[in-house]
Chain A
């Protein structure tokens, strides 16, 4: 039986050394849900890691030392993650789309792959930018049974 509505919350200091801890905790929390298969846990783990890395970098630019709050909510049909930071936020819509693989400039893009990856891996991504920081909400639905 899925632990519907259960929330796991984690606070980490805004340094990259804690990224793997965030990945481990979120993966373990999502793995409790029998409707959420290992392949989706892998997707979730990568999405959370990318978003936490962005949040940490954003806070470091602002020299903010408050912890990041990472919340994992298991529901009937989905896993929802919220990541709250105290960084300056950014406009995800302003990111240039990835050029096609055949474009010779494609390999100039060593950075900027993170948010396109998150959007591809997650079913829904929402950025709530406020003065005090940014909250990102990511939803991954359970796969439909075949």
Chain B
């Protein structure tokens, strides 16, 4: 079992890059939601979530990301996703959230505003 954990927060080009690991499910999603809202409210409301260490995400985990995205956009910022594994990318595609979020392969691409 791999529990959810926040590995690091880096500041890059005015964005906070939040690197996560483990499993985000209904039990751990509230922690992610609270953390995203906290980072966004602290400002600037620009957050990149690095999902490369995430081995599992369920619908409530997706809901936490949506919550962060809405909060960031309400403050004229953004929340972008990078490093989705094949399965996480599949889940984002099924729910069509890959069209709601900017999803990039790398942090550099996300900071440059480049999808893919």
Q: A20-B1, A50-B59, A98-B95 are in contact. Are A39 and B27 (CB under 8 A)?
A: no
Q: Is the CB of A39 within 8 A of B87?
A: yes
B94 within 8 A of A: yes
Q: A24-B1, A107-B70 are in contact. Are A121 and B94 (CB under 8 A)?
A: yes
Q: Digit string of A40-64 for contact with B (CB within 8 Å is 1, else 0)?
A: 0011011001100100000000000
Q: Is the CB of A114 within 8 A of B58?
A: yes
- Per DSSP, chain A at the interface is helix
Checking B25, B63, B96 against A20 with a beta-carbon cut-off of 8 angstroms, the contacting residue is: B25
What's the Cα separation between A101 and B58 when bound, in Å? Answer: 18
Q: How many residues of B contact A (CB 8 A)?
A: 27
B97 within 8 A of A: yes
Q: Is the CB of A53 within 8 A of B60?
A: yes
Contact sample, A vs B, 20 pairs, CB 8 Å cutoff: A16-B26, A16-B27, A20-B23, A20-B25, A23-B56, A24-B1, A43-B87, A43-B90, A49-B56, A50-B58, A53-B58, A100-B96, A101-B99, A106-B100, A107-B100, A112-B59, A114-B58, A116-B94, A117-B58, A117-B95
Residues of A with C-beta under 8 A to B90: 43
**A-contacting residues, B34-70, CB 8 Å:** 56, 58-60, 62-63, 66-67, 69-70
Q: Is the CB of B1 within 8 A of A39?
A: no
B86 within 8 A of A: yes
